[in-house]
Amino acid sequence: MLRDERLSQYALLTVALALVATYLFPVYWMYVTALKSGNEIVAWPPTFWPADPDFAAAEVWERLQMATYMKNSVIIAVGVTLIVVTLGTGCGYALARVRSRWMDVVLFAILMMQVLPSSLMITPIFVAFSQIGLLDYPRTAVILAQAAKVLPFYVVLTRATFIQVPKELEEAALVDGNSRIGAFLSINVPLARNGILVAALLIFLQSLGEYVYSRSLIQARAFQPATVGLQSFMGPNTSDWQGVMTYAAIYVTPIILFFVLLQRQIVSGLTSGALK
């Protein structure tokens, strides 16, 4: 009986591994292709392990000027994350604490702004930004637009975290002699720290992969992030697949590492925010 149980567990595990492997095949394919050179890339039938592995990372990094692109991506992601965390944390807290019809209206408005697609918002943002001259600071323009895009998501995620901090703790701090902001900073924020960090990380990763705004608001190559750079090398007739895949691999490896390390926290943060 116990033996059967054991066996079926291993059978399930095997199927699970097969499912994960199938699903993650494109990721594997990206890495393998990055290691293939010349004709092997377009070989038919395709080879599933490079016959002659060729690490092109350094060469691609240099040739495709990835340093600039990655730097811009990081600048944009850091800028967005800073703005969003600074502006949004308090709002997530207030929406978690105060129950009133006004707060319901605010929450509803924020949820509605969360769903606005970037590709639809870019037209008015582009025109307005160009009219007030913000396009002269293209990365700032992208940071502001992207911050507005992801701020609602961050507020919803942090709100779910703050709801879990018991109200009495804050009240105890008030009775102990603290002001509202003091209690917020010394009690609520430290206790919601994990949720805030996960939300901030998600915002950071999302902004690291931002494309629409950067593509539309940034003209100069020197300010473009990695997504736009990748797109420009990947025209419909590209033949440098090793270059593209190496570029992609360099770009997403840190993201994937981040994710694997913090998988559990990300999953729980994501589910609590999306469904409450």
Partner 1 sequence: MSAPTSSFRDGRGFDRILVWITLGFLIVFSAFPLVYNVIMSFQNVDLFTLASFDRPFVGLDNYDEVLTRNATQIIVRNTAVFVVLSVAAQLSIGFALALFFQQRFPGATWLRGLFLAGWIMPGLVVGGVWSFILAGDFGVLNWLLQTLGVTDDKIFWLSDPSKSLYSVIIANVWVGVPFNMILLSVGLAAIPDDIYEAAELDGAGRVWRFLTITLPLMRAQLGAVISLGIIFTLQQFDLFAALTQGGPSNGSNVMQYWSWELSFQDYRIGQGSAVSVLMILVVIGVAAIYVRSTRHEHAA
Partner 2 sequence: MNMQIEIDQIDKYYGAYHALKSVDVRIPQGQFVALVGPSGCGKSTLLRTIAGLETISSGAIRIAGADVSSAPPRQRDLAMVFQSYALYPHKTVAGNMTYALRLKGMNRAQARARAEEIAAITGLEKLMDRYPRELSGGQRQRVAMGRAIVREPQAFLFDEPLSNLDAALRVHMRAEIRKLHDRIGATSVYVTHDQIEAMTMADHVVVMRAGVIEQQGAPLDLYDRPVNRFVAGFIGSPAMNFVPARVGDDGGHVILDLPGSPRLTFDGHRPAGEAVIVGLRPEHLIPGTGDNALSLPIANVERTGSATFVRTATDPDVMIAANDRLAGVTTGTITVTIRPELIYLFSPETDGALRTG
Contacting positions for partner 2 (CB under 8 A): 166, 168-169, 171-179, 182, 186-187, 190-191
**Residue 179, C-beta contacts closer than 8 angstroms, at least 6 positions apart:** none
The nearer residue to partner 2, 5 or 168, going by C-beta atoms, is 168
Q: Which does 141 bind (CB under 5 to 8 A by kind): partner 2, partner 1, none?
A: none
CB 245, min distance to partner 1, A: 7
98: left (phi over 0), alpha (psi -120 to 50) or beta: beta
Q: Which does 190 bind (CB under 5 to 8 A by kind): partner 2, partner 1, none?
A: partner 2
The nearer residue to partner 2, 97 or 215, going by C-beta atoms, is 97
CB 200, min distance to partner 2, A: 19
Which of 129, 124, 123 has the alpha carbon at shortest distance from 141? 129
CB 170, min distance to partner 2, A: 9
Cβ(63)–Cβ(250) below 8 Å: no
The nearer residue to partner 2, 49 or 102, going by C-beta atoms, is 102
DSSP secondary structure code for residue 47 in this structure: P
Q: Which does 40 bind (CB under 5 to 8 A by kind): partner 2, partner 1, none?
A: none
> How many angstroms separate the CA atoms of 263 and 255, rounded?
11
CB 145, min distance to partner 2, A: 36
CB 84, min distance to partner 2, A: 24
Q: Which does 187 bind (CB under 5 to 8 A by kind): partner 2, partner 1, none?
A: partner 2
The nearer residue to partner 1, 53 or 86, going by C-beta atoms, is 86
Print burial letters for 2-17: b (CB count within 10 Å at least 16), e (below 16).
Answer: eeeeeeeeeeeeeeee
Distances (CA, A) of 102 to 94, 98, 108, 210, 263: 12, 9, 10, 33, 36
CB 265, min distance to partner 2, A: 17
> How many angstroms separate the CA atoms of 155 and 166, rounded?
18
The nearer residue to partner 2, 118 or 178, going by C-beta atoms, is 178
226: left (phi over 0), alpha (psi -120 to 50) or beta: alpha
